[in-house]
Amino acid sequence: ARSAIEGIACRVRSVMEATEEAGLTIADVRATGGLAASSLWPRVLAGVTGREISVPRQVEGSTLGALILGGVALGLLPDLGSADTIVRMGPSIPPDPADRSVYDATYALYSRLYRGLAREAAALATLRR
């Protein structure tokens, strides 16, 4: 299970890097959903990305997002920015410096494998045409 979580965290890091290379800034990273309720996912995500991870007290982001959108649509909330008054954050999880070198090496390997598999997937796609 841990290897799957580490693989997902590597993909998140690659998306974050692409986002920042496009000139956008990622102010903070929040983990939501079922995995966010575990202690492992936020710790691994912090380690792989090197970023502090915030976990809302209500980890089911879809439900909370629907509530906020409904509140704005009904005029109960002035705008989406007012969501900060509803979302309650739990403690943030900082990256553990002891994990950094291992996760950087893991991510480098992940990136090489991902690029290689992307080329193979493209070759496979040409066979299906």
Same-domain status, 47 and 15: yes
pLDDT value for 129: 66
Domain count, the chain: 2
Query: Does a structural domain hold residue 100?
Result: yes
Same-domain status, 45 and 82: no
Per-residue pLDDT of the chain (129 residues; tens, 9 = 90+): 899 999 999 999 999 999 999 999 999 999 998 888 899 999 999 999 999 999 999 888 898 899 999 999 999 999 998 888 888 999 999 999 999 999 999 999 999 999 999 889 998 999 876
- Pairwise CA distance, residues 15 & 8, whole Å: 11
Same-domain status, 84 and 111: no
Query: Does a structural domain hold residue 11?
Result: yes
Query: Does a structural domain hold residue 128?
Result: no
Same-domain status, 48 and 102: yes
Domain that holds residue 72: 61-88
Same-domain status, 97 and 117: yes
For 29, the enclosing helix (H) or strand (E) is: strand 29-30
Same-domain status, 7 and 50: yes
For 110, the enclosing helix (H) or strand (E) is: helix 100-127
Q: From the CA atom positions of the chain, what is the Rg in Å?
A: 18
Query: Does a structural domain hold residue 129?
Result: no
For residue 110, give the CATH number of its domain.
3.30.420.40
- Pairwise CA distance, residues 79 & 35, whole Å: 29
Amino acid 82 reads S
pLDDT value for 1: 85
Contact 58, 86 (CB under 8 A): no
3-class SS shares of the chain: helix, strand, coil, % to 5: 65, 5, 30
The predicted model scores a pTM of: 0.83
